[in-house]
Structure 1
Amino acid sequence: MSHGEIPASVAENLKDVVRRVEGAVQRSSLKKPARLVAVGKTKPVELVQEAYEAGHRDFGENYVQELLDKAPKLPDDTRWHFVGHLQSNKAKMLVEGVPSLAAVETVDSEKLANKLENALEGQSRPPLEVYVQVNTSGEESKFGVEPSDVVSLAKYIKESCPHLKFSGLMTIGMQDYTSRPENFKCLSDCRDKVCEALGLKVEDVELSMGMSGDFEQAIEMGSTNVRVGSTIFGERYYPNKEEANKHDNA
């Protein structure tokens, strides 16, 4: 393969997903395009680079160390989204190690918000976009705040964390990762409550929901940000099902 050529699989998969995203947007009531975050979790950086060479710029990772390893190998205009569970003691490492970090989509506590806020103090960069993760399925295996606690955490971030920008809400959905409509409806309802409580416009608060198995349905139900991994980069391997259920969210 000559330099610059892109394996047909990644390029064609990406092109197909982009087409499907655009089609779902046309079928939805969205007034602007939905963002596609290509999640390269457990995949070699070479595949992520190939998607970049195909023109993509928004990428997601689930693990701090994996993102720390991959970020320096991609150009500075790469927009990284952290989409996995983030332990508060790794917030500083993530912020300092990934200058092109665009968003953390999994903020689920004031403690984590504070850790991110403190890590950003003194840095000459715009506020970091953050999403409040909501456990819309009620499963104990899922991270995220309960729907009843969403407003208070969003308010805390907006009022007490000047280095963070509250950008929206995120959910993973059901354990088989083909979310049921009620999960998406729950997140949309949470957004309505947040907007009412904080005086925000609905169109200014993103919904990050929808993954490889259900991103089209999610967009049709209002998602503005979808996280797609295996459909672009190929299936992932996990040593056991429990590991997959706990960490897979793309």
Structure 2
Amino acid sequence: MASSAAPSLKAVLDRVQGATERSGRNLQEIRVVAASKTKSVSALRQVYDAGHRFFGENYVQELLQKAPQLPDDIEWHLIGNLQSNKVKPLIAGVPNLACVETVDDEKIANLLDRAVATVGRKPLKVFVQVNTSGETSKFGVEPAVCVDLVKHITNCPNLEFSGLMTIGMLDYSSTPENFKMLSNCRSEVCKALGIPETQCELSMGMTGDFEQAIEMGSTNVRIGTAIFGAREYPTKDEK
């Protein structure tokens, strides 16, 4: 599987470019985060050697294991739910953590803010995760209170609010509505903060729908299977 990761990455980047051109956008606006959950360090290394620098992990434990074994110019994104007791180990153990995309309550924001201050690193970029599908199985803040959480984060001196993130429904039949809702949330957030929408990223789109997501305004797509192949689940998830 690792041997196919580099050409698979190129194929994904070609599709990203096509979607960008169709929507009349600039390719420089789009970040592809290689979602490497369950994948080996050797598989990640091949994608890295192909020139890629953005990687995303779902589980803190996996990230803590992989990050020290890989070059420190990687920009890591945490793209899975963050539990309170994992905040300190995450910030202390991954100096090149670029972004936490899954902040969905004030408690996690406060813990991140304090942990970043403790290690003395530069402010950490964070996205607010929004539950746009209304599914109880999904993490994320309700759209109606998204602005309140964003305002709280802007008052955390060691955090840098950078955008909004959603997962959407996995059947992909109603994700356009999920994507539209996230875009609407961005409009409300930017109006409340008095900032242009270009200052608020949208993280939406995965292997099954990233082209559509880009055409609908996504600036950050999280792609795993299309780059690395099917996930290899352990018998019991390590969270």
Please classify the TM superposition score into its range, dividing by the shorter chain length.
over 0.9
Q: Does 1:223 align with 2:218?
A: yes
Contact 2:205/2:213 (CA < 8 Å) preserved in 1? yes
Q: Which residue of 2 aligns with 1:3?
A: none
Q: Which residue of 2 aligns with 1:133?
A: 129
Which structure 1 segments of 5+ residues have no match?
A: 1-5
Contact 1:178/1:214 (CA < 8 Å) preserved in 2? no
Shift of 1:201: 0.8
Q: Does 1:111 align with 2:132?
A: no
The structure 1 segments of at least 4 consecutive aligned residues displaced by more than 4 Å after TM superposition are none
Distance 1:210 1:176 in 2: 12
Correspondence list, 1:1-250, <5 A: 8-31=3-26, 32-159=28-155, 161-176=156-171, 180-238=175-233
Shift of 1:175: 3.2
Q: Which moved more, 1:174-183 or 1:207-216?
A: 174-183
Give the root-mean-square deviation of aligned CA atoms. 2.0
Alignment CA distance shift 1:95-1:33 (3 Å): same
Alignment CA distance shift 1:95-1:179 (3 Å): farther
Contact 2:207/2:223 (CA < 8 Å) preserved in 1? yes
Shift of 1:29: 4.4
Distance 1:157 1:177 in 2: 30
SS of the counterpart of 1:36?
Answer: strand
Task: Provide, for residues 131-163 of structure 1, a one-character-per-residue CA deviation record: whole Å limited to 9, x for no partner.
Answer: 00000000000000000010000000002x110
- Return the TM-score normalized by structure 2: 0.94
| Alignment-mate amino acid for residue 102 of structure 1 | A
SS of the counterpart of 2:189?
Answer: helix
Distance 1:42 1:177 in 2: 23
Shift of 1:236: 1.4
